[in-house]
Chain A
Amino acid sequence: MRPATSYHPQNKNEAVILAPVRRVTFEERWLWAILLGLMGLGAYAYLTQWNSGLGVTGLNRPVYWGIYITNFVFFIGLAHSGTFISAILRLAGAGWRKPLTRAAEAITLFSLPFGVGSILIDMGRPDRVLNIMFYGRFQSPLLWDITAVSLYLFSSIVFFYLSLLPDIALCRDRLTEAPAWQQKMYKILALGWMGRPEQFERLERVLDGMAIFMTLLVVTVHTVVSWVFGMTVEPGWHTALIGPFFLVGAIFSGTAAVVIVLAILRRVYHMENVLPVSLFNSLRKLLIVFTVAWLYMMIAEFLTASYGGLADEMPVIWQKFTGDFAGLFWTMALAVFVFPILIFVFLGKDHIGWMVTACVLINIGMWIERFVVIVPTETRPRLVSTLMEGMGNYTPSWVEIAITVSLFAGLTLLYVVFTRFFPIVPIWETAEETAETELPPVEPRRKVFGTRQSL
C-alpha cells in the first residue's frame, strides 16, 4: 500500500508555475537591489520630514492633503482589484478568473499597507494616530475609515491565506531542495494541510462565504474612504455621488493593474500556457464596461455640480476645466478614457502589448484623477475669503516625490519577493483533476511525528 501523504490535485503546469520559486535569477537580484535603493531614498526623505516637520513638503494652509492623500486613495483603490477578481467573479461563477486570482489578491494585500501608511506619512505627528483609538468620536468619518480599512486588510489577509493554503502544502511537499528555513516556513504556514476531499470542500465553502462578505467590504471601504471627503461641506467633495464615483474608479484602476501584472508574469516566467491570451480578452471586456461606467460618473458629477452654477462650486470646476489644473485634468481624461477605449475596442483584442499600454495609461490617469479631485478643492475652499496673499497654491516637494516613488518601489518589492517564495498562479484551483477524482490511500496509524521521511 502506498504510504499516506498529503494530496495535491494534478496540474500539468505545476513545473512552470513553481519555476520562479525554485530559482532566483541574476536579474531578479538586481531588481531587488534597485527597489531597496529606492525605498532607502524614501526612508531618507521621510527622516528629513520627521526631523524638520511638514514644512519640507509642499503642503501648506489650506492645502493640507497633497500627494500623500492622493497615494492613500490610489493604493486603496488598487487594493480592490484582488477582491473584485477573486470574490465578485467567484460569486458570478466566472471560471476564467482562476489563473489570475492570486496575482490579483496579492495586489490587494500589498497595496493596503502602503495606503494606510500614506496617512501616517501625511501626519506631522504620526504618534497621534493613537488619539483616534483613545479619543475618537463615533461620528467621525476618520474613525469609520480606520475601522473599515482595518477590517478589510485583516479579511484580505485571511482570504488570501486560505486560498494559498493548499499550495503552501504543495511547496512543503515538493520543494525538498529548498533551504531548511524555507521548508520549515512552508511547514508552519501549511498548518498540517493534507488535501483531503473534506478539507477542500470546507475550504471552498468558506471561500464562497467570504467572497460575499469581501464584496460587501469592497463597497463599504471605498465608500467610507470617499466620505472622508464627502462629509465635509467643501465644493467638489460634498456630493452623494462621490461614493460610487470612487468605487468605480477603484475597481477600474485595480483591474487595469491586474492586466499589467499578469502580462509581466507571463513574459518573465514564460507562463504563456498558464495565462493565455483569452484571459486578457475577458479582462478587456470588463475594462470596456468600467471605462464607460467611469465616463458616466464623470459626466453625472460635473453636469450636476455645474448646472446650478453655485458660487462655491464653479471656481473649483473652472480650475479643472481651464485653470491651473486644466493640463492635469485633460491629460487624465485622455489617459483614463479616450485612449484606453480606442485601444480596447480597435487594438486590444488578442494583443497583450496594447492592453498593457492602455492599462498603464489608465493607472497613470487614475492617479492624476485622485490628485485632481483632492487638490483643486483645497486651493479654492468654500471659505475662499479666508485665503491670504500667496495661499491656495500647491507644488509637491522632492520629499513628497521621493516618498511616493519609494511607496511604489515597496509595493513592487513585496510583490517580487512573494513571487519568489510562493506560486503566483493557484496550482490547486487551476488543476485539471480535483480532490474528488482520486483519493490517496491511507496507511494505518503509525507513531511518526514531525517527520516526512517515510512519505
Chain B
Amino acid sequence: MHIGELISAFFTSDGPGGVVVITVVGLAAGIYFWLIRWILRGSEPEEKERYRFK
C-alpha cells in the first residue's frame, strides 16, 4: 500500500478515538512514573527506609 494511502486511511477510517487518548496519556503516565522513581532513587538506601510505611 502506498504510504499516502496508509496515512489517509488512518485519518478517514472510523474510531475508536479512545485508543489515541489512552495511548498518549498512558505513555505519559509510564514516563512520569519512571521519572519520579528516578528522582527519588537519589537518596541513600538507609534513609529511604526511615520514611517507609509499616
Contact = CB atoms under 8 A, between A and B. Distances in A.
A202 interface: yes
B16 interface: yes
Contacts, number: 116
Contact of A196 (B29, B47, B49): B47
A139 interface: yes
B15 A154 contact: no
Nearest to A209: B35
Contacts of A201: 42
A134 B51 contact: no
Interface string A191-229: 111101011111100100000000000000000000000
A449 B52 CA distance: 6
B54 A133 contact: no
B53 A147 contact: no
A190 interface: yes
Contacts of A135: 14-17
A158 interface: yes
A150 interface: yes
B47 A132 contact: no
Contacts of A134: 15-16, 18
B21 to A, nearest CB: 5
A143 B54 contact: no
A138 B50 contact: no
B40 A150 contact: no
Contact of B52 (A202, A203, A206, A450): A450
A4 B45 CA distance: 12
Contact of B25 (A139, A154, A187, A188): A154
A137 B32 CA distance: 28
Given A136-B15, A449-B50, A199 B21 contact: no
A140 interface: yes
B5 to A, nearest CB: 15
Contact of B39 (A133, A138, A155, A199): A199
Interface residues of A, number: 43
A448 interface: yes
Interface in B1-54: 10-18, 20-21, 24-25, 28-29, 32, 35-36, 38-40, 42-44, 46-54
A41 interface: no
The residue in A4, A138, A202, A206 that gathers the most chain B C-beta atoms within 10 A of its C-beta is: A138
Query: Majority SS of interface residues in chain B?
Result: helix
A450 B42 CA distance: 20
A155 B28 CA distance: 8
A187 B28 contact: no
A12 B35 CA distance: 31
A162 interface: yes
Contacts of A132: 17-18
A6 B53 CA distance: 16
A445 B39 CA distance: 22
B17 A137 contact: yes
B14 to A, nearest CB: 6
A19 interface: no
Contacts of B18: 132-134, 136
Nearest to A130: B18
Given A199-B42, A202-B42, A206-B39, A192 B51 contact: yes
A192 B28 CA distance: 23
A137 B51 contact: no
A434 to B, nearest CB: 15
A138 B51 contact: no
11 contacts: A6-B51, A133-B18, A135-B14, A137-B15, A138-B15, A151-B24, A187-B53, A194-B44, A196-B42, A206-B38, A450-B53
Interface of A: 4, 6, 132-140, 143, 146-147, 150-151, 154-155, 158, 162, 165, 187-188, 190-194, 196, 198-203, 206, 442, 445-446, 448-450, 452
In the A-B complex, the 10 residue pairs with the closest CB atoms: A136-B17, A133-B18, A198-B42, A199-B42, A192-B51, A445-B46, A143-B17, A194-B43, A450-B54, A202-B39
Given A134-B18, A201-B42, 8 more contacts: A4-B46, A133-B21, A138-B15, A143-B15, A150-B24, A154-B29, A199-B39, A442-B44
